[in-house]
């Protein structure tokens, strides 16, 4: 798996007003979230990152070009419809995707070791895989989390409003063009699509796998409380990062 798609187009309305910069540029542990995401793609063994930009896209692109010094080739793609759901950002990258790809959220902090699993195995041939976290007691904002029901290694349902669930969505995916095709179908029938919509459609066709995150840390950095939680974790782990 040589490519990563990183979604960095959204408004980040729950956090951005309190920090004064676009959410992908929020510094945690002295490093912008977008740089942590790029570092994660490196650890997964990717060679190219496709960054989908929208809100404050020029500012984010300029920042990455100035501050990212790693080995990834960075391609910047504009989603002019960034106020629509996040599946549209995945579709914005579709022209550049070749085969299986890693899909990450620029506003999620993920412990880098968790992504090394993708370096060590063959890429998916069909469908998609979602990394889930079943440690529900540790989820900071479970009400806002995207809930997942997993059975025998397959996603069988997903959504923020699920009442019968046993894991949450971490925002870490391995996907094939099947996910893009699923999102295209949802847009064709509903005019818009979230990533969750695409996952749900693949799940109906038994093409959506789930894999446990394991003992690693992750956090959707979408509130001041979540931001503080990541800062505390980084301070504890600073010597090993």
Q: Is the pLDDT of residue 175 over 80?
A: yes
Contact 129, 201 (CB under 8 A): no
Helices (H), the chain: 16-19, 33-43, 57-67, 87-92, 177-190, 195-204, 224-237
**Mean pLDDT for the chain overall:** 95
Residue matched to tokens 């397959």: 154
pLDDT tens for 52-73 read 999 999 999 999 999 999 999 9
3 state DSSP class of 189: helix
pLDDT value at residue 173? 99
What was the pLDDT predicted at 238?
A: 72
Enumerate the β-bridge partners of residue 3: 48, 101
Indicate if the pLDDT at residue 125 is higher than 70: yes
Question: What's the maximum distance between 2 C-alpha atoms anywhere in the chain?
Answer: 50
Give residue 20's pLDDT.
73
pLDDT at position 89 over 90? yes
- The number of distinct structural domains making up the chain is 1
What percent of the chain has pLDDT above 90?
A: 90
Residue 240 — pLDDT band, cuts 50, 70, 90?
A: low
Q: What percent of the chain is predicted at pLDDT more than 70?
A: 95
Half-sphere exposure of 182 (CA within 13 A, CB side): 24
| Confidence grade of residue 14 (pLDDT, cut at 50, 70, 90) | low
Residue 105 clears pLDDT 90, i.e. is over it? yes
pLDDT classification of 16: cutoffs 50, 70, 90: low
In this prediction, residue 1 carries a pLDDT of 84
Strands 108-110 and 218-220: antiparallel
Q: Residue 164's domain is classified under what CATH number?
A: 3.90.550.10
Separation of alpha carbons 100 and 139, rounded Å: 29
pLDDT band at 189 (very low <50, low <70, confident <90, very high): very high
Q: 222: domain range?
A: 3-240
């Amino acid at each position: 798996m040589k490519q990563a798609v990183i979604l960095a187009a959204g408004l980040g309305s729950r956090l951005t007003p309190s920090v004064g910069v676009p959410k992908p540029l929020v510094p945690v542990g002295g490093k912008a979230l977008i740089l942590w995401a790029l570092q994660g793609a490196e650890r997964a063994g990717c060679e190219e990152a496709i960054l989908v930009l929208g809100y404050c896209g020029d500012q984010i692109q300029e920042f990455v070009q100035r501050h990212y010094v790693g080995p990834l080739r960075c391609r910047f793609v504009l989603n002019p419809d960034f106020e629509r759901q996040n599946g549209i950002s995945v579709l914005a990258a579709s022209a550049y995707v070749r085969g299986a790809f890693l899909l990450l959220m620029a506003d999620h902090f993920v412990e880098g070791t968790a992504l090394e699993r993708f370096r060590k195995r063959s890429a998916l041939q069909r469908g998609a895989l979602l990394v889930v976290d079943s440690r529900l007691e540790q989820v900071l904002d479970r009400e806002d989390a995207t809930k997942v029901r997993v059975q025998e290694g397959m996603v069988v349902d997903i959504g923020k409003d699920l009442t019968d669930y046993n894991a949450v969505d971490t925002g870490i995916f391995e996907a094939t063009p099947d996910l893009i095709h699923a999102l295209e179908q949802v847009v064709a029938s509903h005019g818009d699509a979230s990533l969750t919509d695409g996952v749900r459609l693949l799940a109906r066709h038994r093409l959506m796998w789930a894999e446990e995150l394991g003992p690693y840390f992750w956090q959707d950095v979408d509130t001041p409380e979540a931001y503080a939680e990541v800062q505390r974790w980084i301070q504890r782990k600073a010597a090993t990062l």
